[in-house]
Amino acid sequence: MRRFEGRKKNIGENNEEKVRIQFPRDLFDEYKTKTGVEFKLALGVKKVRDFPIQTMKDLFEKPLSATADHVKELLGKSELDGLKTILMVGGFSDSALLYEKIKSSFQSLNVLRPHEAVLSVVKGAVIYGHTPEIIPERVCARTYGIAFNIPFDPMKHPERLLGYYNDRQCTREVMISALDDEAKEG
């Protein structure tokens, strides 16, 4: 799988007509264990196979389109009005196909991709860990934490949070955030 991961980054980068993929040995071994027949005999597949570049592009078309559609949806949010640049980071951002898809889908925006985009997230996390004040604000789609029940107090808690646990009144939807900031309902 690592070989495939490495190859998928470069698909579309060169003017190659074919992409050579080496199937993992475990695939052949597992097939023989399950069926008792050699994989290459049953399916006529060798351990290495050349695929036409278009086949490989077609393989990734669905996730590429889904990613571009998601970015388009995000760009429709009012808080992103005036955005001029998309910075692509993370593992899939290393893909030449994704980079080209995003560039062609958002021609009015500057699209940047650092070398080794996959490492950008890790490097950013390390920098942030050593110097948290370097990032003044962070918006998260979700809050992660630990849910728990505490005794219900009608003076503190709204009626909609009333729940029962072991026949005792308690609050529902209360959690301790795993983040340093206070978790807000919603």
Residues forming a β-bridge with 164: 169
pLDDT confidence of 104, banded at 50, 70, 90? very high
pLDDT of residue 64: 93
119 vs 28, residue with greater confidence: 119
Closest CA to 87 of 120, 111, 65: 111
Mean pLDDT of the chain: 80
Looking only at the bridges linking them, the beta strands covering 145-148 and 174-177 are: antiparallel
DSSP string, 69-122: HHHHHHHTSGGGTT--EEE--SGGGG-HHHHHHHHHH-TTSEEE--TTHHHHHH
Rounded CA-CA distance 28/47 in Å is 8
Note the pLDDT tens digit of each residue in 11-39. Answer: 766 667 887 777 777 877 887 888 888 77
CA 126, 132, 134, 135 torsion-angle sign? positive
The pLDDT score that the predictor gives to residue 183 is 44
- What was the pLDDT predicted at 75? 93
Residue 186 has pLDDT above 80, yes or no: no
Q: What is the spatial distance between Cα 132 and Cα 136, in angstroms, rounded to a whole number?
A: 8
Give 45: exposed, middle or buried? Use CB within 10 Å, 0-12, 13-18, 19+: middle
120 or 137, which is more confident? Answer: 120
Which has the higher per-residue pLDDT, 143 or 128?
128
pLDDT tops 60 at residue 1: no
Question: Average pLDDT in the 59-73 region?
Answer: 93
pLDDT at residue 69 in the model: 96
CA 114/CA 99 separation, integer angstroms:
11
- What CA–CA distance (Å, rounded) separates 135 from 117? 19
The number of angstroms, rounded, from the C-alpha of 54 to the middle of its chain's C-alpha atoms is 24
Compute the average pLDDT of residues 112-139.
81
Q: Using CA atoms, how far apart are residues 66 and 85, in angstroms rounded to an integer?
A: 20
Domains of the chain, by residue range, sit at 2-133, 145-177
Reported confidence tier of residue 185, pLDDT bands at 50, 70, 90: very low
Query: What is the reported pLDDT for 178?
Result: 54
Round to whole Å and give the CA distance between 59 and 34: 27
- Tens-place pLDDT, residues 144-165: 666 677 888 889 888 888 888 8
pLDDT band with cut points at 50, 70 and 90 for residue 179 = low
Q: Tell me the mean pLDDT in the region 44-57.
A: 79
